[in-house]
Amino acid sequence: MANTRSASDEITVAVTSWAGVHAEPGDLGELGFKVGRREIGHLHGDRAAHFSFPKKLWVELREHGRIVPHPVFPDSPGLAARRIANETDVRDVIALFRLNYDRAVARRILNAKGEG
């Protein structure tokens, strides 16, 4: 990577800079990112990120090679993993978190308006 920060540090700085996002450690050593109580994904150190996507989006992301099935739940469409090996992966992991962030924020807005 071009800078001295680790992949997980770079991702954490980016994702927690978005309004309403906080990071908290999970029970299995992962670092989860949440908007309110809704998790938008989590990191396993500098090596992998895990997400949950709507099935239609999951299929699209998988077809484009951006995600693979979650290693613990490989037969569960929607649950996804992304390996982190280089700076390109870091940028795409941030983009994947952003997809879930935008969905979570849109849902919160709808709920606040009584439309969700």
Nearest to 93 by CA among 58, 36, 50, 55: 50
pLDDT in tens, 40-89: 999 999 999 999 999 999 999 999 999 999 988 888 899 999 999 999 99
Q: Which helix (H) or strand (E) holds 34?
A: strand 31-35
Question: Domain 7-112, CATH 3.90.1150 — does that match?
Answer: yes
pLDDT of amino acid 1: 47
Instruction: Please report, for the chain, the start and end positions of each structural domain, with discontinuous segments joined by +.
Output: 7-112
pLDDT in tens, 92-108: 999 999 999 999 998 86
pLDDT in tens, 8-47: 999 999 999 999 999 999 998 899 999 999 999 999 999 9
Q: CA 32 → CA 6, 24, 38, 108, distances in Å?
A: 17, 5, 10, 19
